[in-house]
Amino acid sequence: MAAESRGGVVVRGVGMGGTPRPSDRASIRRTNLGLVLRLLRDAGPRSRARIAADTGLPRPTVTNLVAELVELRLVREGDSQREGAVGRPGVSVEIDGRSICGLGLEINADYISAVAQSLRGDRVFERRIPLDVRAAGPEAVLDMTAELIRGADAAVAAAGARLVGAGLGAPGHVDIITGHVRYAPNIGWRDVSALDGLRGRLGRAAPVLHLENDAKLGAVAEYVIASAAGIHDLISVTGDLGVGGGIISGGRLMRGARGFAGEIGHMQLAPGGRLCNCGRRGCWETMVGLGALLRHAADPGDPVHDASLDVASRLAELRGRAEAGDTRTLAALDHIADGLCLGIALLADVLNPRAVVLGGYFPVFADQLLDRVREGVARRVMAPDAGGCEILPSSLGLAAVARGGAQLALDSVYEDPSAAVV
Amino acid sequence: MAAESRGGVVVRGVGMGGTPRPSDRASIRRTNLGLVLRLLRDAGPRSRARIAADTGLPRPTVTNLVAELVELRLVREGDSQREGAVGRPGVSVEIDGRSICGLGLEINADYISAVAQSLRGDRVFERRIPLDVRAAGPEAVLDMTAELIRGADAAVAAAGARLVGAGLGAPGHVDIITGHVRYAPNIGWRDVSALDGLRGRLGRAAPVLHLENDAKLGAVAEYVIASAAGIHDLISVTGDLGVGGGIISGGRLMRGARGFAGEIGHMQLAPGGRLCNCGRRGCWETMVGLGALLRHAADPGDPVHDASLDVASRLAELRGRAEAGDTRTLAALDHIADGLCLGIALLADVLNPRAVVLGGYFPVFADQLLDRVREGVARRVMAPDAGGCEILPSSLGLAAVARGGAQLALDSVYEDPSAAVV
């Protein structure tokens, strides 16, 4: 309908309201830089003349814009090519995919991690440091995160590339404008100014920093994969002790009015049901979170309940039992599958996604869960054929959030290339 | 993140996948016509020179584009104005708001209706014909709808204006690409080719026709009002025998992968609850639909249950009882309010809207429902302050869907002005 950015100026629907942004010279230049960069990304290498024809921008303007993008090391000159039957061949311009990297960072309850990857998708740096984040406290965690950024920056430089920005994922409620983690109960953070804290530690070496909720970055990472298959509407559902969600609608991450969209773990699907950590009863995460699986699968004394053991090994143990045909484990997984059907069908009715991607602990039990979930969702959704919604297991494991952060950093360069200034 | 149309070419995120559309000469021209038209809408009247500066398009291109828009009667020349300190004054160009009209049409279970309104918002034509649509059958209903369109077209012409398109709202599942009403149980339609049916009846006089689900058009109409207050994320909830929904996210109507988004009436909020018309149990509409209100408020023999009486008079009767302090009516409304809280809080957790607009029968009982709903939603939503979500009563009454249809027709002209050819 209305609000989006287009062409030489940023326009918003006014038939549908909205406030036009001022179109001063600098903002027009920024917008046009993005226009050219996205054209090269989406339509491939081409000559300056062709860029002018494709964008409708004057040829001298295109020459200036390309020069600036080359200076920013976002594009480079390629081979000469003859595009038409006549005229002299033009020098082709292309995205400089190898030399531009985005950095993704995750602050998780159990670790901090970083992934740097280039525009071509090469992973230049990857590190995960196990850490009791709640016990360490924000200052120590930000110290270590700053150190990770320094290490990633050095690795990127050593690979002959350049870091254009970093996207940090944190759990809970985050303020993406100010860069504060507002309230993250499972790491015990409240009103931590994460981005300013990192900028203070890194000084002039700080990259352009973005903050986002971890589950939303997980959705962004899933979308990189899904979009290659033509999927532009998806919901990512991450099963952990909590259940997180991220919604991609028409190729865009849905944030809502204040950035709180995607709080799917607390959909109240069984009013009067089990008490949730949030203080309400019958939230979806009491039905399908990791706690529910463990509760159904084993008595309290069973080692799978031992939180001092690595969660991956406890999940492997349960998976082994399921594969051996243990009836209690299989019944527990059926419980989880039925709970997933209830929530996924509701989300599919409301949002009509093309795919729901199950991440976190769910993919570990893909063999036991998926068929039952697919069948149940198809039966429950109002639209025929579940509205075309596929249920897919995530393949990203623990790297999902950091990879989404790297993608966020790279994407924001396409929106505003001038922000990639060294 | 990625997929959207910008500037001189249509680009899609490819870092995030997506297929670029071919950028042939005709499509570039269409896109640029829209760019200029939206600039005039959003930023106000301005000279051709200023349009060139604002869009980055070459001056001769702008001259041609404006000439084409004038020929389409979408813009007109206004007063001369001096924009800078030097140079001769340019002739200002502006949207021709009075002479362009969109037509909205609704096929409801109980009536068909039409509203024609200009770009300035003047209503040029408005008509509602009571009709038992299910009994009449699709052919007779399309005959009458075609007649309504002819009448609206004549009224618009008599007002010195021009119809640029029509948006038809129908209940149930509609295919907006082919123009078929796929399945609308409450009017008994299945696979009715509504738009082709109208085109066949109207012949060369047929306007450009669009089809959309009625609840989605209601949301579009609510958004016209809400956006003037700076609200760009809203959910419209319409209470009737069924409960319909439309979602506006970031100023855009959310359709989902196959156009089924917004099916909020069948969110299963009380598994094992009351049997719904859809065959499932505990759907939201069994809790807050008109049937639930009547059931709670009065015994079967009470005249408010008499479907042969006009629904407006039955609602007025109930409202009178509530205002007189009738305890049973008030208790019934408390039931409805509690059910509304449950579903609205869930939607607010998932989508974080800036507003939820209650339409259909809900506004009739605004005095009895709103405070309780606002308090309950604020208590239930995870985000502080309900994530900033306001609960508002609709002021549009029965005209909401048709007004949304008129807006849809006007909006699509801004997307592709060349479609407005006479």
| 3-class secondary-structure state, position B157 | helix
Residues ≥6 apart with Cβ < 8 Å to B323:
B367
Half-sphere exposure of A91 (CA within 13 A, CB side): 6
> What secondary structure does DSSP assign to B225-281, as a single string?
HHHTTT---EEEEEESSSEEEEEEETTEE---SSS-TT-GGG-B-STT-SBPTTS-B
Report the pLDDT value the prediction gives residue A311, as an integer from 0 to 100: 82
In the predicted structure, residue B11 carries a pLDDT above the cut 70: no
User: Poorest-confidence range of A95-99, A139-143, B327-331?
Assistant: A95-99
Superfamily of domain A100-217+401-420 in CATH is ATPase, nucleotide binding domain (3.30.420.40)
Q: With bands split at pLDDT 50, 70 and 90, how would you rate the model's confidence at A398?
A: confident
Residues of A with Cβ-Cβ distance to B3 under 8 angstroms: 232, 250-252
Task: Quote the minimal CA–CA distance from A12 to chain B in Å.
Answer: 6
Pick the residue with more confidence: B354 or B5? B354
CB B352 within 8 A of CB B358: no
Query: Cβ B256–A411 below 8 Å, yes or no?
Result: no
Report the pLDDT value the prediction gives residue A343, as an integer from 0 to 100: 97
Pick the residue with more confidence: A9 or B304? B304
pLDDT digits (tens, 9 = 90+) for A145-196: 999 999 999 999 999 999 999 999 999 889 999 999 998 887 899 999 999 9
pLDDT digits (tens, 9 = 90+) for A326-382: 999 999 999 999 999 999 999 999 999 999 999 999 999 999 999 999 999 999 999
Q: How far out from the chain centre does Cα A366 lie?
A: 22
Residues of B with Cβ-Cβ distance to A57 under 8 angstroms: 8, 56-57
A-chain residue closest to B380, CA distance: A280
Tokens standing for residue A303: 């080692």
Q: With bands split at pLDDT 50, 70 and 90, how would you rate the model's confidence at A10?
A: very low
CB B370 within 8 A of CB B390: no
Report the pLDDT value the prediction gives residue B338, as an integer from 0 to 100: 97
Average pLDDT over residues B78-82: 67
Residues of A with Cβ-Cβ distance to B23 under 8 angstroms: 43, 54
In the predicted structure, residue A82 carries a pLDDT above the cut 60: no
Report the pLDDT value the prediction gives residue B8, as an integer from 0 to 100: 28
How far apart (Å, rounded) are the C-alpha atoms in residues A239 and A422? 39
In the predicted structure, residue B78 carries a pLDDT above the cut 60: yes
Q: Calculate Rg over the CA atoms of chain B.
A: 24
Tokens standing for residue B79: 């007063």
pLDDT digits (tens, 9 = 90+) for B168-200: 999 988 999 999 999 888 789 999 999 999 999
Q: Between B35, B245, B278, which is nearest A7 by CB?
A: B35
Report the pLDDT value the prediction gives residue A414, as an integer from 0 to 100: 86
Residues of B with Cβ-Cβ distance to A386 under 8 angstroms: none
Q: Where in chain B is the domain with CATH 3.30.420.40?
A: 100-217+401-420, 230-396
- In 3D, which of A375, A407, A374, A406 has the Cα closest to residue A393? A374
Question: What distances in angstroms separate CA B223 from CA A62, A295, B95, B115, B395, one per listed residue?
Answer: 38, 46, 21, 17, 12
Beta bridge partners of A247: A235
Q: Between A264, A347, A383, which is nearest B260 by CB?
A: A383
Task: Quote the minimal CA–CA distance from B150 to chain A in Å.
Answer: 25
Report the pLDDT value the prediction gives residue B81, as an integer from 0 to 100: 60
CB B146 within 8 A of CB B201: yes
Tokens 């809502």 belong to A256
pLDDT digits (tens, 9 = 90+) for A46-69: 999 999 888 878 899 899 999 999
Q: Between A263, A342, A354, which is nearest B268 by CB?
A: A342
In the predicted structure, residue B353 carries a pLDDT above the cut 70: yes
In the predicted structure, residue A21 carries a pLDDT above the cut 60: no
In the predicted structure, residue A9 carries a pLDDT above the cut 80: no
Task: Quote the minimal CA–CA distance from B146 to chain A in Å.
Answer: 26
- In 3D, which of A281, A247, A249 has the Cα closest to residue A264? A247
| 3-class secondary-structure state, position B115 | strand
In the predicted structure, residue A16 carries a pLDDT above the cut 80: no
Query: Cβ A353–B257 below 8 Å, yes or no?
Result: yes
User: Poorest-confidence range of A100-104, A275-279, A342-346, B219-223?
Assistant: A275-279
Query: Cβ B253–A1 below 8 Å, yes or no?
Result: yes
- In 3D, which of A171, A251, A242, A258 has the Cα closest to residue A211? A171
Query: Cβ B352–A257 below 8 Å, yes or no?
Result: yes
Q: Between B61, B261, B383, which is nearest A173 by CB?
A: B383
A-chain residue closest to B55, CA distance: A8
Tokens 């860069």 belong to A179
* Sheet with strand B162-170: strands edge to edge: B123-130, B111-118, B100-107, B162-170, B209-213
Report the pLDDT value the prediction gives residue B80, as an integer from 0 to 100: 67
Report the pLDDT value the prediction gives residue B83, as an integer from 0 to 100: 53
CA angle B1/B5/B11 to nearest 5° reads: 75
How far apart (Å, rounded) are the C-alpha atoms in residues B52 and A346? 48
What angle, 0 to 180 degrees and rounded to 10, lies between the N-to-C axes of helices A214-228 and A400-415?
Answer: 80
Q: How far out from the chain centre does Cα B139 lie?
A: 25
SS3 per-residue string spanning chain A: CCCEEECCEEECCCCCCCCCCCCCHHHHHHHHHHHHHHHHHHHCCEEHHHHHHHHCCCHHHHHHHHHHHHHCCCEEEEEEECCCCCCCCEEEEEECCCCEEEEEEEECCCEEEEEEEECCCCEEEEEEEECCHHHHCHHHHHHHHHHHHHHHHHHHHHCCCEEEEEEEEECCEEECCCCEEEEECCCCEEEEEHHHHHHHHHHHHCCCEEEEEHHHHHHHHHHHHHHHCCCCCEEEEEECCCEEEEEEECCEECCCCCCCCCCHHHCECCCCCCECCCCCECEHHHHHCHHHHHHHHCCCCCHHHCCCCCHHHHHHHHHHHHHCCCHHHHHHHHHHHHHHHHHHHHHHHHHCCCEEEEEECHHHHHHHHHHHHHHHHHHHCCCHHHHHCEEEECCCHHHHHHHHHHHHHHHHHHHCHHHHCC
Average pLDDT over residues A199-224: 95
pLDDT digits (tens, 9 = 90+) for B126-152: 999 988 899 999 999 999 999 999 999
Superfamily of domain A230-396 in CATH is ATPase, nucleotide binding domain (3.30.420.40)
Class of residue A331 by CB neighbours under 10 A (exposed 0-12, middle 13-18, buried 19+) = exposed
Beta bridge partners of A10: A5
CB pairs under 8 A between A and B: 322
End-to-end Cα spacing for chain B: 37
ipTM of the complex: 0.84
Q: With bands split at pLDDT 50, 70 and 90, how would you rate the model's confidence at B318?
A: very high
Q: Between B9, B55, B233, which is nearest A256 by CB?
A: B233
Average pLDDT over residues A134-139: 95
In the predicted structure, residue A19 carries a pLDDT above the cut 70: no
CB A391 within 8 A of CB A344: yes
Q: Where in chain A is the domain with CATH 1.10.10.10?
A: 4-95
Beta bridge partners of A358: A237, A393
Structural element, H or E, at residue B291:
helix B290-297
The CATH fold assigned to A4-95 is Arc Repressor Mutant, subunit A (1.10.10)
How far apart (Å, rounded) are the C-alpha atoms in residues B42 and B55? 13
Q: Between A11, A38, A229, which is nearest B11 by CB?
A: A38
pLDDT digits (tens, 9 = 90+) for B369-380: 999 999 999 999
Q: Helix, strand, coil shares of chain B as percentages rounded to 5?
A: 45, 25, 30
B-chain residue closest to A278, CA distance: B382
